[in-house]
Structure 1
């Protein structure tokens, strides 16, 4: 029960509605602990499991501060990583702000021109947006950004861990620094996150140039996991691991289990979502789908229908991992394993919200790799371990993007004054070579000591008012799929190319249904479809994530193969499949170090170090590694003539000469704004992202034993 002194920190109107409108008996621990520091203007990272009340923990004290301080205009910005989460939050935040006589506006890529015009004319007190849309407002010629953002006092960053681990995080930080300079004084920064392994470092990262200068704290009364602790008791939750061998078998299991309940199934790819969704529907299961290549309307229809249904399944990628409300769930099912413990915590946190309910997750492994990764991840989870969030290395392309965006925002920037927009933000301290390249290649031009947008930037990024400049990632081309005037989603153009031996119309699998392609507009990148009578079709998309398993997860897999059993229930099928895997790999694992095996000319170094560490080891020991191989999580192929003597000689001093992985021209195409960087800096940036120097150094410092077979 919350005491009067706690509610006294809230504005009286807000406190009244918390008790009488929401019917809450009191505030949750996170919400109580966040009140005083946030009302006082401190920066903070709020940690809690999914559905832990993080939004209210941030918004209630900031609305109270807004009322007490007489904030006016756009004074609170609420940033989310995905538009669907903003859409989902809008009604709730409108209710909270409305109690206080305040307004909320929504601005992202799907908001039309008329709605944006209303926001510019009648400024909301709270603005829900994405970093890309913030950038768009800053560089727009239709908005006076100085006037629009003059009253910003606080920024809430929801799912801050999702930003911090990739380039969108650096982009967000850089945009916040520009907002701070426009404001002329510090802006309070509040991050909301599920449990992470390094919350203090995450807070310092979020504070940017204010780290160490502004007061800030991590507030995590219910977080539970720290990334370092290994208590003897397993975390709470009903978790089971099964081995089913194929997606079709997974559909059989899902169709047979938990009938009458609402089930959310996570897959690791859009293709798997489509295939599993179609297989479930063929078995009479009411099934909905959600992934990034479905149209906005299609996803909304599926999520709305799922939230209102009872006996049904929704199959999704990570699009439904980040807190989007799809109603009261009974079960979460995971196909194979997510990439991180943090993702698993987000997903299992979608269940057990009803009184007396328990969080639960059923893992269905499709193959040996999926089984071992799931077991390794659950081994880490059982030890109360969760990954630290590490910002991406050497974000030079973000520096180039921000310099161009600043020139658009300000029209012209002093040649020697541009760094003042990002004071103390470490990557920008090393931006001089990038400015020189931008000038040399015509991306910017100099006039009387001022920098402004140049013709090359206009040519490469100027389409549709420099829209390409506001997004920091590159998406592969996809064709819009239309049934009549209804957009179904987007498809890989490779599926639309006819082959000589094809008979009949091309078939697509999209939204869990088969479609016959009736026409393709190659110029406008559209294809037209009709429902396929037999329901067949193909689904395929290019994968954006090729990083493989991490060092920690790969080492956890080794621990499982050596004999560690995660604290979860195994089905008989899973027990048998794990026993088979352990027997197959018994000569490939050694708890004290690594193993080199030789069999019929196939020499493998079993590192169990993860893809990035193995890429780094391949570059460092290039003379011993077999050329042209694809790198795996668990091993590297070595030359056939490698023996203990050659191995010892090559490793001598190798920890002092760690090399970064080689980078191909094709790989560089995935790094946006590569053209705005000198080629050697673009290659080094990508190489740093592919490397795991510490993991490689650990391997080189461990003993290695040779085995036959």
Structure 2
């Protein structure tokens, strides 16, 4: 079998005879040589491109040839559900070689963990949080357990790298590498990204530039592998405007009957509302989102995988590679936030021979239609977002120093840097954070040694410091129970706001009437009712429209059409939007528009972060109290072209970071363990887009006056 000559013969036998494969896929062929050589690698392929096998087949072959013992391979995923889905497949592969795979995450019971500790599996599937919990647990001898570790596979690595879980993962891997006492081979699996070489270097951590590593992407040519501009895959992409959730349900119920359909929504509330309306129309419907109980989601996903004429409605929880069976069609309400997310979702279809990838966009509003058109315009150009780690993760540094002291019980006050090999933000620049942790009692000092202090015990010590291993602040939610069965969780404001008549919730696509609220234990008990339920969840974190996608929206308003099928309704709505925004877009630059009511707006079309940066940079010219939006910046009513020219002449070279409100810091977990000025500087850097702001400032500006309000 071509490309498999160097794999273990037993493995090759089963690939041919058990799986019935005539040969390896291109990625699997290309990955064999570098992984057997021990190189770090980033394996790129579209969804369903065989990335898991591309990584695991060479590592199992190497495990067999070099007689690795103990837990020698870690397989890390961002989602527990993805791990659950992968275990049977990886378990089959390890069984072929007389090896074993096992699962360790927060839902695994104590008996399962005890079995793993007493009989170490060869491949352990886990999350970064569970991996760190093992390092700090008094019940795990981490030095003995990880003594045989050789390689780490990070699935969906792009999903980690774009937020703070990525910094947390890298820091944990550096600590683990020091525990093991040898470099660990790092293999990342990813869908196509805009900057694969940078993503590989990020994954290598302290080994970047020291260890061999390569991007393996046979579906791209050599130039694209460095800076991919992937050709649009053949498929059926359609953009429609429906105007409401009710209309979306009507379209979904009427179209594609007999097919298995996956509908993506951008909020849990929309998932619930659409699910309820589809069921009311007699459509077999299942739901999946993070606030549903594990059992509820598992039942829905298993039923959906086995069914045919049905719909599953989901947030991004099903965007990653969880197997939901033989899918016919993907439907998207409004637009995902990135081109990369769209590619992931599109890749769920077209897997059967003779079928094309497909996606139907149903826009609920004019804004949703414009966002979808802008995203599709960028996709039409072959553009994918670069994956960029959030800047200046000082709060993660504070968390990691505390976790290290918990892991080692005490650490030398001049030796802690060695645990991260001086890597990035965990090196010398972390010194002020360590001093602050000592000064505030998070760490205590005994001579030259540091250990966990009383303030860390008070803030993070609940349930054996479990709160210290999660890097995000979760919004408080109430558990919803029907008898003994957990349905999911809901926002507490639904239980406190004034309502006429009985209090009803919408959860799992069904309405429930609240019968009792246990405020102390944060639980509410419900009974099923017919209709009237309401869904609501508070936002977590901050979502921003990027510079690239907002500029693409401007291009659409100026007449660009994405290379997809537009329905008559979508074309008509886009035409109306273009007419309405005609006074606010110009192909030669940006516009400052003075309305007849005296309101002055600079239509930058630069995205939230760039506009926040511009507001801070313009000082007295801009309204400091405004909430940044993606399209415009409010300016002072006394602005003149002369004053504008004087103030902005050199502004692009003197950009300012946005102001940070105290309330915003509460969403940055562990910010209380930082000096206030460093916490504010961290968040300010994340709220800014210096490159986008500078680009807009360099463009010509036209003054337009007056127009209607």
Q: TM-score, normalised by structure 1?
A: 0.98
1:258 CA displacement: 0.4
Question: 1:23-60 deviations in whole A, cap 9, x for unaligned?
Answer: 00000000000001101111000000000000000000
1:543 CA displacement: 1.8
The alignment status of 1:629 with 2:629, answered yes or no, reads no
Question: 1:294-353 deviations in whole A, cap 9, x for unaligned?
Answer: 000000000001001101000000000011000011100000000000000000000000
Give the 3-state SS of the residue equivalent to 1:45 in structure 2. strand
The alignment status of 1:194 with 2:194, answered yes or no, reads no
The alignment status of 1:317 with 2:315, answered yes or no, reads yes
Cα distance in 2 for partners of 1:579, 1:707 equals: 22
1:449 CA displacement: 0.2
The alignment status of 1:597 with 2:593, answered yes or no, reads yes
Instruction: Please name the residue that 1:571 is paired with.
Output: 567
Cα distance in 2 for partners of 1:331, 1:348 equals: 9
Cα distance in 1 for partners of 2:453, 2:354 equals: 62
The alignment status of 1:444 with 2:429, answered yes or no, reads no
Alignment of 1:453-472 (within 5 A): 453-472=452-471
Give the 3-state SS of the residue equivalent to 2:681 in structure 1. helix
Instruction: Please name the residue that 1:56 is paired with.
Output: 53
The correspondence for 2:556, drawn from 527, 549, 560, is 560
The alignment status of 1:21 with 2:18, answered yes or no, reads yes
Give the 3-state SS of the residue equivalent to 1:25 in structure 2. coil
The correspondence for 2:336, drawn from 335, 338, 341, is 338
The alignment status of 1:125 with 2:122, answered yes or no, reads yes
Instruction: Please name the residue that 1:286 is paired with.
Output: 284
Give the 3-state SS of the residue equivalent to 1:431 in structure 2. helix
The alignment status of 1:297 with 2:302, answered yes or no, reads no
Question: 1:185-240 deviations in whole A, cap 9, x for unaligned?
Answer: 10000000000000000000000000011110000112587696668x74421100
The alignment status of 1:266 with 2:257, answered yes or no, reads no
Q: 1:404·1:453 contact (CA, 8 Å) conserved in 2?
A: yes
Give the 3-state SS of the residue equivalent to 2:297 in structure 1. helix
Q: 2:170·2:205 contact (CA, 8 Å) conserved in 1?
A: yes
The correspondence for 1:643, drawn from 624, 640, 645, is 640
The alignment status of 1:106 with 2:110, answered yes or no, reads no
1:434 CA displacement: 0.2
The alignment status of 1:96 with 2:72, answered yes or no, reads no
Instruction: Please name the residue that 1:540 is paired with.
Output: 536
Q: 2:268·2:289 contact (CA, 8 Å) conserved in 1?
A: yes
The correspondence for 1:699, drawn from 696, 699, 709, is 696
The correspondence for 2:374, drawn from 369, 376, 392, is 376
Question: 1:440-480 deviations in whole A, cap 9, x for unaligned?
Answer: 00000110200000000001000100000000000100000
Cα distance in 2 for partners of 1:498, 1:276 equals: 23
Cα distance in 2 for partners of 1:45, 1:551 equals: 27
1:644 CA displacement: 0.9
Instruction: Please name the residue that 2:431 is paired with.
Output: 432
| Distance 1:194-1:131 versus aligned 2 partners, 3 A rule | same
Is 645-654 or 442-451 further displaced after alignment?
645-654
Alignment of 1:30-45 (within 5 A): 30-45=27-42
Cα distance in 2 for partners of 1:227, 1:247 equals: 41
| Distance 1:223-1:507 versus aligned 2 partners, 3 A rule | farther
Cα distance in 1 for partners of 2:165, 2:128 equals: 8
1:545 CA displacement: 4.5
Cα distance in 2 for partners of 1:264, 1:182 equals: 43
**Count of aligned positions:** 702
Question: Which consecutive unaligned segments of at least 5 residues does structure 1 have?
Answer: none
Is 334-343 or 656-665 further displaced after alignment?
656-665
Instruction: Please name the residue that 1:158 is paired with.
Output: 155
Q: 1:616·1:660 contact (CA, 8 Å) conserved in 2?
A: yes
Q: 1:78·1:155 contact (CA, 8 Å) conserved in 2?
A: yes
Question: 1:113-152 deviations in whole A, cap 9, x for unaligned?
Answer: 1111111011000000000000000000001110011111
1:638 CA displacement: 1.3
1:86 CA displacement: 0.2
Cα distance in 1 for partners of 2:37, 2:282 equals: 56
Instruction: Please name the residue that 2:254 is paired with.
Output: 256
Cα distance in 2 for partners of 1:469, 1:325 equals: 31
Q: 1:278·1:512 contact (CA, 8 Å) conserved in 2?
A: yes
The alignment status of 1:169 with 2:136, answered yes or no, reads no
Q: TM-score, normalised by structure 2?
A: 0.98
Cα distance in 2 for partners of 1:424, 1:323 equals: 34
Give the 3-state SS of the residue equivalent to 2:619 in structure 1. coil
Question: Which consecutive unaligned segments of at least 5 residues does structure 2 have?
Answer: none
Instruction: Please name the residue that 1:586 is paired with.
Output: 582
Cα distance in 1 for partners of 2:636, 2:462 equals: 50
Instruction: Please name the residue that 2:417 is paired with.
Output: 419
Q: 2:74·2:151 contact (CA, 8 Å) conserved in 1?
A: yes
| Distance 1:570-1:692 versus aligned 2 partners, 3 A rule | same
Instruction: Please name the residue that 2:485 is paired with.
Output: 486
The correspondence for 1:349, drawn from 347, 350, 356, is 347
Give the 3-state SS of the residue equivalent to 2:571 in structure 1. helix
Give the 3-state SS of the residue equivalent to 2:694 in structure 1. helix
Cα distance in 2 for partners of 1:211, 1:230 equals: 25
Give the 3-state SS of the residue equivalent to 2:583 in structure 1. coil
1:544 CA displacement: 2.0
Is 220-229 or 631-640 further displaced after alignment?
220-229
Cα distance in 2 for partners of 1:656, 1:9 equals: 55
CA RMSD of aligned residues (A): 1.2
1:598 CA displacement: 1.3
Alignment of 1:79-94 (within 5 A): 79-94=76-91
